[in-house]
A and B are shown apart, each in its own frame.
Chain A
Amino acid sequence: NAGVTQTPKFQVLKTGQSMTLQCAQDMNHEYMSWYRQDPGMGLRLIHYSVGAGITDQGEVPNGYNVSRSTTEDFPLRLLSAAPSQTSVYFCASSFKPGLTGELFFGEGSRLTVL
Chain B
Amino acid sequence: KQEVTQIPAALSVPEGENLVLNCSFTDSAIYNLQWFRQDPGKGLTSLLLIQSSQREQTSGRLNASLDKSSGRSTLYIAASQPGDSATYLCAADSGTYKYIFGTGTRLKVLA
Contacts and interface: CB of A to CB of B under 8 A. Distances in A.
B101 A42 contact: yes
16 contacts: A33-B97, A41-B103, A42-B102, A43-B89, A43-B91, A43-B101, A50-B97, A56-B97, A58-B98, A97-B31, A98-B31, A101-B32, A102-B34, A103-B91, A104-B46, A107-B43
B98 A45 contact: yes
Interface size class of B (residues with CB under 8 A): 20 to 34
**Which 6 residue pairs spanning A and B have beta carbons closest together?**
A42-B103, A43-B101, A105-B44, A101-B32, A107-B43, A105-B43
Interface string B85-107: 00001010101011101111000
Interface in A16-47: 31, 33, 35, 40-43, 45
Given A42-B102, A42-B103, A101 B51 contact: yes
B103 A40 contact: yes
Contacts of A35: 101
Interface of A: 31, 33, 35, 40-43, 45, 48, 50, 56, 58-59, 90, 92, 97-108
Contacts of A33: 97, 99
B33 to A, nearest CB: 10
Contact of B46 (A43, A50, A103): A103
A98 B93 contact: yes
A1 B89 CA distance: 24
Residue of A50, A92, A97 with most partner-chain B CB within 10 A: A97
B97 A31 contact: yes
